[in-house]
């Protein structure tokens, strides 16, 4: 089976239009995550759903720009489809059939970038010279795309340094601190902030699961147990 960088899917609008959904580009993800903060402060499910609808409206800037307002969104998409969009766009998982409150479902599964130095990562990948400015970079890449591109870039840079060091009789594989830090950071991103390091079981999902050949959603599940 071919490895996927990210999950994608298709949704159908009420009028029958089919729309292809992928993870949000960084430009829209920034606005999405700002709006998602309101979900955490929702007083009840009704309020939480209204904030999630606003998050879904933001995603339409990327997926279907003709939908600009909440009213247009509600006329075009039903609630289960909104939940499907949120899942693919940013990993926000809400099961309409669950008895758990919507707010708890959304905030417990939602992506968290508080500990991610996005500016530093963007500065590093910008050095590839592909984009004319950061606006173009953020419009072009989603988080999974940026991370996999950075991973390959770092692997190539490391291979070159390893070769040059070997000529001098130095084994860089024994100095893997930076490599481990990078793997830990990727684990936190792909687990939506849940994994503490690359060895954490919740890191095995999404692109990491595809790369490993197994993981959460690929024959492996897990349960969070409160003390």
Residue 160: per-residue pLDDT = 82
The pLDDT of residue 46 is above 60: yes
**DSSP alpha helix (H) spans, the chain:** 26-40, 45-63, 70-76, 79-90, 102-109, 118-126, 134-140, 143-167, 177-190, 207-212
- Residue 192 near residue 109, CB atoms below 8 Å: yes
39: its two tokens = 């979900």
CA distance 49 to 42: 9
How many degrees, rounded to 5, is the angle at CA 155 between CA 153 and CA 156?
A: 65
CA distance 28 to 121: 17
| Average pLDDT value for residue range 182-202 | 60
- Residue 19 near residue 157, CB atoms below 8 Å: no
Kindly list the domain boundaries of the chain, sorted by start residue: 9-109, 118-220
Residue 186: per-residue pLDDT = 62
Higher pLDDT, 214 or 185: 185
Task: Using DSSP, state whether 219 is helix, strand or coil.
Answer: strand
The pLDDT of residue 58 is above 60: yes
Residue 193: per-residue pLDDT = 57
Higher pLDDT, 109 or 145: 145
Residue 165: per-residue pLDDT = 76
What does the mean pLDDT of the chain come to?
A: 81
Whole-model pTM: value is 0.69
pLDDT band with cut points at 50, 70 and 90 for residue 21 = very high
Question: pLDDT digits over 62-119, tens only?
Answer: 999 999 999 999 999 999 999 999 999 998 999 888 889 999 989 887 555 666 778 8
Measuring CA to CA, which residue among 104, 97, 61 is closest to residue 79? 97
Residue 209: per-residue pLDDT = 54
């Amino acid at each position: 089976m071919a490895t996927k960088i990210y999950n994608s899917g298709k949704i159908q609008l009420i009028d029958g239009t089919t729309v292809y959904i992928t993870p949000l580009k960084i430009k829209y993800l920034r606005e999405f995550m700002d709006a998602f903060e309101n979900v955490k402060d929702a007083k009840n499910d009704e309020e939480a759903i209204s904030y999630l609808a606003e998050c879904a409206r933001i995603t339409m800037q990327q997926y279907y720009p003709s939908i600009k307002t909440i009213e247009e969104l509600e006329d075009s998409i039903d609630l289960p489809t909104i939940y499907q969009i949120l899942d693919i766009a940013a990993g926000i998982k809400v099961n309409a059939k669950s008895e758990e409150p919507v707010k708890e479902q959304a905030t417990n599964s939602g992506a968290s970038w508080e500990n991610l130095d996005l500016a530093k990562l963007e500065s590093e990948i910008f050095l590839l010279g592909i984009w004319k400015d950061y606006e173009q970079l953020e419009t072009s890449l989603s988080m999974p795309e940026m991370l996999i591109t950075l991973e390959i870039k770092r692997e190539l840079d490391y291979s070159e340094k390893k070769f040059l060091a070997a000529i001098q009789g130095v084994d860089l594989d024994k100095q893997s601190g930076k490599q481990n830090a990078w793997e830990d950071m990727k684990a936190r991103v792909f687990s939506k902030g849940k994994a503490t390091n690359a060895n954490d079981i919740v890191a095995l999902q999404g692109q990491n699961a595809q790369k490993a050949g197994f993981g959460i959603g690929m024959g492996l599940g897990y349960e969070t147990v409160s003390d």
